[in-house]
Amino acid sequence: MATSKITYLGELRTEATHLQSGNTIITDAPTDNHGKGEAFSPTDLVATALGSCMLTVVGIKVAAMEKNISGATVESTKVMYSEPRRIGEIHIKLQIPDDNFSEKEKQIIRNTAHACPVAKSLHPELKQVVEIDFV
């Protein structure tokens, strides 16, 4: 079964529908590539997917530790390269509320974030710069 259906709406805009839930997202081309920049660009979604995946797998791991990271945040930043135009770097700043994690637990969390499926699916030449802070 397909994961999503994507429809071109014109003017460099698409609408993607998640087939299982019916939820939708709109994408626009970025302003530096002929677009309006009124929504996530496809490359924004790649950087966002990396941060979301890291939070998800860390959330699974922390729940198994019987701890809580509600309120954890990620700021993701993509850096575009040219010739060919591509994402060259994704910078992730992950802030995790410190639920009295031991140093061993913090290292497990760091390892878990770096091993998320999106991180492991991206091309090895794409530089992933990850900062994890316990606040």
Q: State the pTM of this model.
A: 0.93
Residue 105 in tokens: 């637990």
Average predicted confidence (pLDDT) for the chain:
96
Fold held by 42-134? GMP Synthetase; Chain A, domain 3 (3.30.300)
Give CA–CA dist 30/99, Å, rounded. 38
What local confidence, expressed as pLDDT, does residue 99 receive?
85
Residue 110 in tokens: 């760091």
Across the range 89-93, mean pLDDT stands at 98
Across the range 63-78, mean pLDDT stands at 96
Domain boundaries, the chain: 4-33, 42-134
> What number of CA atoms fall less than 13 Å from residue 81's CA on the CB side?
10
Residue 65 in tokens: 């530790």
Dmax of the chain from CA atoms?
52
Across the range 41-60, mean pLDDT stands at 97
pLDDT above 70 as % of the chain: 100
